[in-house]
Amino acid sequence: MSQAPQDAAAADGALARLDRWYAHIEDYLNYVAAAVIFAMMLFVCAEAILRTAFNASIYGFLDLTELSMAAFAFLGAAYCQRLGGHIRMDLMVAQLRGRWLWGAEAVATLVALLVIGILISGTFDHFLRAWRIGDTTIDAELRTWPSKLLAPIGLSFLWLRLALNFAGYLRLVRDPYAVPVAVPPRPGEGHAAPNE
């Protein structure tokens, strides 16, 4: 037996292990986003009840709600990418097979890697400005930097997931009939309806 298949198997094993390990981190980040949504539901209910029943509003309600929204706007992005949840048009890709399919997927992922990379840099600068000038909200004067920092954090985790996807696709370009590892579900797979 040649050395190459063993090497390939070892590399696949490493990529698969890395994928599984990283998936745990993504799951936890998504749980944080989910917990913030639940906490926001309770917080907003409290505000609605206090205001309608007691004519009293929670101090800084609007500012706090808005700042906390960054958690669910960014932290689950990598989880969503792993499960193929971001919308796309599958029609052409679904027609491709073998190396063409994986090559197209790799190119599409490369575009995503580049643009998310740029957004990480831009959103980090946005955070840094807020941190340096001590930016606060207008009403409750809450510091805005922790919320702004969530954008580059969430996007960085997304970038790492995209990098894993890219590695997974390159592996499949090399060996189109290998078992797909570290790539989102194929068109038609994993697009189960909510609540299924």
Partner 1 sequence: MDPLTAGWVGLAAIGVLVVIGVRVAYAAAAVGVIGLILMRGWNVGIGVSGVVPHAESVHYTLSVLPMFILIGYLAFYAGITKGLFDAAKAWLSHIPGGLGVGTVFSCAGFAAVSGASTASAAVFARIAIPEMLAAGYDRRLAAASVAVAGTLASLIPPSAILVIYGIIVEQSVGRLLIAGFIPGLITAAVYAGVIFFRVWLNPSLAPPVENRTTLRERVVALKGTTGVILVIGIVMGGIYLGWMTPTETGAVGAMIILFMAMQKREMTWTNFRDALSETAKLTVMIFTIIYSILIFVRFLGFSGLPESFAAWVVGLDVPRVVIFIAILAVYFVLGMFLDGIGMLMLTLPVVYPAIVKLGYDPIWFGIIIVKLVEICLVTPPVGLNCYVVNGVRPDIPLQDIFRGVWPFVVADLGVIALFYVFPEIVTFLPNAMFGKG
Where on the chain is the footprint of partner 1 (CB under 8 A)? 30-31, 33-35, 37-38, 40-42, 44-45, 47-48, 52, 62, 65-67, 69-70, 72-77, 79-80, 83, 85-93, 104-105, 107-108, 111-112, 114-116, 118-119, 121-126, 147-148, 150-151, 155, 191-196
Sequence-distant (≥ 6) Cβ neighbours of residue 74 within 8 angstroms: 150, 151, 153, 154, 155
Nearest CB to partner 1, comparing residues 8 and 128:
128
By beta-carbon proximity to partner 1, the closer residue of 15 and 96 is 96
Angle, alpha carbons 10-11-13 (nearest 5°): 65
What is the C-alpha separation between 21 and 179, in angstroms, rounded?
18
**How does DSSP classify residue 136?**
B
Residue among 8 and 143 whose Cβ is closer to partner 1: 143
Considering the complex, what minimum distance in angstroms separates the CB of residue 127 from partner 1?
8
Minimum distance from residue 158 beta carbon to partner 1 (Å): 8
Q: Which residue has the tokens 């990098």?
A: 163
Please, what is the minimum distance in Å from the beta carbon of residue 152 to partner 1?
9
The secondary element (H helix, E strand) that includes residue 125 is: helix 98-133
- Smallest Cα–Cα separation from 150: which of 124, 177, 173, 168? 124
Question: Rounded to the nearest whole angstrom, what is the least distance from the CB of residue 19 to partner 1 in the complex?
Answer: 18
Question: Alpha-carbon distance 89 to 179, whole Å?
Answer: 24
User: What is the SS3 assignment for 143?
Assistant: strand
Q: Nearest distance from residue 124's CB to partner 1, in Å?
A: 7
Residue with smaller CB distance to partner 1, 1 or 89: 89
Residue among 12 and 47 whose Cβ is closer to partner 1:
47
